[in-house]
Amino acid sequence: MNWTASALHPLFGVRLTGPRLDLPLGDLDKVDLIGAVETHGLVVIPNQPLDDDRLVALAEHLGEIDRVGRKVNIDRALVFRVSNIAEDGSILPVEDRMFQINIANQLWHTDSTYVRPGSKFSLLHARICPAEGGNTEFCDTRVACERLDPAMRERIESLIARHSLRHSRRKAGFNGWSEQELATLDNVPRQIVQRHEPSGRTALCLASHIGEIIGMGDDEAATLLETLIESATRPELIYTHHWAVGDLLIWDNRCTMHRAMPFDHRTQKRDLRTLRVTDSEALLPVV
């Protein structure tokens, strides 16, 4: 596969052009693609004519597909619709339940830190894009970690945070879980400072899903998390992706954080499709 690469941001991310990912990947192509994601944190590949089946086939080249929807009982499909479009083609009302659940994606987060195991890679493909807004912002948490003040790095080195989908959704104003759903929502402990093994660099594991830091009071934990996220997402450290139909983004959740940007949900349509690849990391014990 003849890739043409160009930088997305001075500190992370790469844009690849040339490949047709609706065709089978050879072994070397697969290795090169995985290597690009793990090295750069984020890969953007434009003009990809992928339907859901082809998106699944591509994800299977990258690893085991994460059935995260089965873990949180929201959606049983392999490919999730990140969309405001109803089955009949109309625009969903903002009161729609899935819209209310997904509005928390506008908070800085890392995918699937709230389940066991987490997700190594996320894939997101554009089918319909709004004329204005709806961008996605990214930062590299390896860069964030490397730029920490030494005193802060020492302070957080051994800290463990608890991640829960319930917490991030509550922060965004949603708490309408059923009892069955609540029974499936994990509270997963993860170290804030982690080694990103593929690159040999150290990264921060941050997310709006964090509701607690073990051994720390709520106010102190909230202040610390706000400080860390603000430091990681300073304007000069952010890449903003302006979506076009056919864009495919693949990112490494072990070293990036992202958020969705708003658009006019009442008048403009947006349809993205996503799925994730499982991370077979060694998890902390339940504490």
pLDDT tens digits for range 35-53: 999 999 999 999 999 999 9
Residue 285 maps to a domain: no
The pLDDT, as a whole number, for residue 74 is 46
Nearest in space to 188 (alpha carbons), one of 169, 204, 209: 209
Containing domain of residue 167, as a range?
A: 4-278
In a domain, 287, yes or no: no
Q: What is the pLDDT of residues 213-244, one digit of tens each?
A: 999 999 999 999 999 999 999 999 999 999 99
In a domain, 286, yes or no: no
d(CA 38, CA 40): 6
Note whether residue 173 is domain-resident: yes
Which CATH number covers residue 201?
3.60.130.10
- Measured CA to CA, the distance from residue 58 to residue 22 in angstroms comes to 8
Residue 36 within a domain: yes
- 10 Å CB burial of residue 226 (0-12, 13-18, 19+) is exposed
User: The whole model's pTM is what?
Assistant: 0.93
Please give the tally of structural domains in the chain. Answer: 1
Q: Which of 157-171, 176-190, 220-234 has the lowest mean pLDDT?
A: 176-190
Q: What is the pLDDT of residues 253-282, one digit of tens each?
A: 999 999 999 999 889 999 999 999 999 765
* 283 domain residue, yes or no: no
Answer yes or no: is 273 within a domain: yes
Distances in Å between the alpha carbon of 222 and those of 209, 213, 226? 12, 9, 6
Q: Which residues contact 111 (CB under 8 A, 6 or more apart)?
A: 118, 119, 122, 253, 276
